[in-house]
Structure 1
Amino acid sequence: MRSLFKSGNDSSEGSRKEFNWIPLEEEDQLEKITKRSATVPQVIFKNSTTCGISGIVRRTFETQHASVEGKADMYLLHIQHQRQLSSEVSRLFGIRHESPQLLIIKNGKVVHHTSHGQISYTDLSDWV
């Protein structure tokens, strides 16, 4: 029986390539992200571990952007485990918190951000 959320072309969840996220867990990582964004685009994906929509958007993002890996540093922030850090990201970059949320940072500034279903319409190749 097929899952309601899988297309007929999906073979199995086990065949999907693992996405190599960098866990965003420490506030001092934000300084590194800001500095490194001068030479390498930085991507932060704010994820809610208790929200089904967030999980679906994250898996879709991973599938759509597997070819971009290595061209940007890809950070994953689980907001339930890092609420204070999530607030600091919002404060530092001047972007209102949402979840799920995608931020693309270049030269110390957010050059693109979006949230919820709109994340699926972001083409990372335009930014990295």
Structure 2
Amino acid sequence: MSAAAWKATRNFVLADEEGKADYVMVKVIESRSVSNAIANDLRVRHQSPQVLLLQGGKVLWTASHWDITEKSLEKALS
């Protein structure tokens, strides 16, 4: 699961030549306190892997595991 989500996300980000968004990756194991703060501040249930789309500090869209695909990422940003 994690490998497929990572591959889809990486491919999507690398293909985004227009710079539709700013992208940040948090490595949960290495940065547990950051991950916990994100979940707490944004009031989202932590999942791993997980993608959050934010605008103005609010979560507009989230996906985890098998729902993270290049197609779902494209749809979320359109």
For Structure 1 versus Structure 2, the TM-score category normalised by the shorter chain is: 0.7 to 0.9
In the alignment, structure 1 segments of 5+ residues that lack a partner are: 1-52
Which residue number in structure 1 is paired with residue 65 of structure 2?
A: 116
What is the CA distance between 1:56 and its match in structure 2? 2.6
- 2:11 paired residue number: 63
Return the alpha-carbon distance in structure 2 between the equivalents of residues 102 and 75 of structure 1. 10
> TM-score, normalization: structure 2?
0.82
Question: Residue 58 of structure 1 aligns to a residue in which SS?
Answer: helix
- RMSD over aligned Cα atoms: 1.8
* 3-state secondary structure, aligned to 1:92: helix
More strand, by proportion: 1
Return structure 1 stretches of 4+ with deviation > 6 angstroms. Answer: none
Bigger relative CO (Cα 8 Å, ≥ 6 apart): 2
Q: Is the 8 A contact 2:8 2:68 kept in 1?
A: no
1:104/1:111 contact within 8 Å kept: yes
TM-score computed with the length of structure 1 as normaliser? 0.53
> Percent of aligned pairs with the same residue?
26
The number of residue pairs the alignment matches comes to: 76
SS in 2 for 1:89: helix
Structure of greater Rg: 1
